[in-house]
Amino acid sequence: MARGWADENQWDGKTRYDQICRYAARSQLRHWIALDDDVQGWAEGSAQQLIACVPDFGLGSPQTQAELQRRLEEMCSPHG
């Protein structure tokens, strides 16, 4: 994921949560959602940004698709 970045060695040994948050911060993302099957290490305060996927199905799961649709609608609504 970090190949070609000057700080790529800082990604090694980090949780996926750390990697995703670092990417979001470096990219100056204000609103984002992560789909991941690795929920270890996610901070409670960031849990609303995670959609936990079933490892064998990922985005192929109807429940995951419904959750993604719900979250995107929420995030993109003028009141969200």
Distance CA 57, CA 11 (A): 26
Q: Record the pTM.
A: 0.75
For the chain, how many structural domains are there in total?
A: 1
- Quick: pLDDT tens for 11-64: 667 888 999 999 999 999 999 999 999 888 888 888 889 999 999 999 999 999
Helix locations, the chain, DSSP H: 16-26, 62-76
On whether residue 1 sits in a domain, the answer given is no
Q: How many helices (H) and strands (E) would you count in the chain?
A: 2, 2
Count CB-CB contacts under 10 A for residue 33.
14
On whether residue 12 sits in a domain, the answer given is yes
Distance CA 46, CA 54 (A): 19
On whether residue 65 sits in a domain, the answer given is yes
On whether residue 52 sits in a domain, the answer given is yes
